[in-house]
Chains A and B, each alone.
Chain A
Amino acid sequence: MKSTDQAYSDDLLLALRLREVPGSRIGEVLAEVQSHVAETGEDPRQAFGDPKQYADEVAAALGLQRGRGWRHLLSGLSWAHLVVTVVIGVASFLLADSLWGLGAGDDAAFGVPAGLMAAAAAVVLAACAAWIAAASRREPDDTVRDPRTGEDMARLGRWQLAVLIGAPALAFALMLLGGLLTR
């Protein structure tokens, strides 16, 4: 697939997700576009129009209501989500602070030994990650699957995963380095 076709496909996927089209149907729509464009040699934008407008048409054909905005998006959140978000924030701060302390040879916050604090914060963060993973497994499967191959069409790419894990890891490593430089 050409890169412009891939870009159209990505935009359409996002637009359909925002209109709450089920994952299996999104897979069908994307495969239809790919198949049609390959057959006719047309540009997808010319054949199917603007991705947002096309997503509106698909949603209308499925009898889905137009997006209900932020209020609807927020209604899916529970107190547990809020608490875990706060815990992740506090634990991340304490981990960063204790890594700095470890580098500089000082105690971490509240006079706790830096090593102990870093270990405790890391355990809490790992527990939060496990909770999120378990919660997302409990969600009904709404993967965008290619109807032809059964493949996940919106899988996290290798470099996307690398950035997701690598960016915070790098930030923590820099805290340790920063602490060392103050010695």
Chain B
Amino acid sequence: MRLTSQSYCLAVTDERWPGEWMRGVLSLCVLRVVADGPTYGYAIAARLADAGLGPVKGGTLYPILTRLETEALVSSSWEAGDGGPGRKFFTLTPAGEQFLRERTELWHVFTERAAGLLAPLPASRSTP
């Protein structure tokens, strides 16, 4: 029991969430970050890390942004950087806002239901 709770704590502080969970929720979270105002890739990754979702690599983040862009949920434009290679800013479109509202509401219902089912196991079960 001791060991389990310890490794559980480790998993949480390490911020390495199961891959399939991240795949499920990441694009919605990216959309939510963009909803706070035009922003660019690195800042989005930093915001996700600050929120405790763990480090998100460029190789994961940009295809999500590309998909959101081809679905017209975000739009993009390049801005010159200070001597750097420039930044690509993403902005939420009206369709993106609509989508985000619907999916956010759905997400809350979904997680509440899942949490309701995932009641903690009785302590006696784990010490045979």
Chain A contacts with B in 11-61, Cβ cutoff 8 A: 25, 28-29, 31-40, 42, 47-49, 54, 57-58, 60-61
CB of A115 within 8 A of chain B? no
B47-105 contacts to A, CB under 8 A, are 57-59, 62-64, 66-67, 70, 78, 80-81, 84-88
Q: State whether the Cβ of A170 lies closer than 8 Å to any Cβ in chain B.
A: no
B103 to chain A, nearest CB (A): 18
Having A47-B59, A63-B70, one finds 8 other A-B pairs with CB under 8 Å, namely A32-B58, A34-B85, A35-B41, A36-B41, A39-B84, A40-B42, A57-B59, A148-B78
- Give A49 to B64 CA distance when docked, in angstroms: 15
- Closest Cβ of chain B: how far from A34's Cβ, in Å? 5
Contact indicator A36/B86 (Cβ below 8 Å): no
Let me know if B62 and A36 touch, CB within 8 A: yes
Given A31-B86, A35-B85, A36-B42, does the pair A61, B66 have CB atoms closer than 8 Å? yes
Query: Chain B contacts of A34 at CB under 8 A?
Result: 85
Please measure, in the bound complex, the distance between the C-alpha atom of A69 and the C-alpha atom of B58, giving whole angstroms. Answer: 29
B-side contacts of A42, CB under 8 Å:
58
A31 touches B58 (CB 8 A): no
- For chain B, the count of residues having a C-beta within 8 Å of the partner chain is 20
A147 in the interface (beta carbon within 8 A) = yes
Alpha-carbon separation in the docked complex, A57 to B86 (Å):
23
Complex: how many Å from CA A36 to CA B88?
Answer: 9
Judge if A62 is at the interface, Cβ distance under 8 Å.
yes
User: Could you say which of B41, B67, B80 contacts A32, with CB atoms under 8 Å apart?
Assistant: B41
Once bound together, how far apart are the Cα atoms of A35 and B62, in whole Å?
Answer: 12
Task: Tell me if A35 and B63 are in contact (CB < 8 A).
Answer: no
A79 to chain B, nearest CB (A): 37
A5 to B70, CA, bound (A): 27
The answer to whether B63 touches A58 (Cβ under 8 A) is yes
Chain B residues in the interface with A (C-beta under 8 A): 40-42, 57-59, 62-64, 66-67, 70, 78, 80-81, 84-88
* Chain A interface SS verdict (over half): helix
How long is the Cα–Cα vector from A31 to B89 in the complex, in angstroms?
A: 12
**A residues within 8 A CB of B42?**
36, 39-40
Chain A contacts of B67 at CB under 8 A? 61-62
Q: Is the CB of A48 within 8 A of B80?
A: no
> When the two chains form their complex, are residues B58 and A38 in contact, meaning their CB atoms are under 8 A apart?
no
Residue from A37, A49, A57, A63 whose CB has the most chain B CB atoms within 10 Å: A57
Query: Across the interface, do A35 and B57 meet the contact criterion of CB distance under 8 Å?
Result: no
The residue from B58, B70, B88 contacting A48, defined by CB atoms under 8 A apart: B58
Bound CA–CA A63/B84 (angstroms): 31
Q: Can you report 30 residue pairs joining A to B where beta carbons are below 8 Å apart?
A: A25-B66, A28-B66, A29-B62, A31-B78, A31-B85, A31-B86, A31-B88, A32-B58, A32-B62, A33-B58, A35-B84, A38-B81, A39-B84, A47-B57, A47-B58, A48-B57, A48-B58, A48-B59, A49-B57, A49-B59, A57-B59, A57-B63, A58-B63, A60-B63, A61-B63, A61-B64, A61-B66, A62-B67, A63-B70, A148-B85
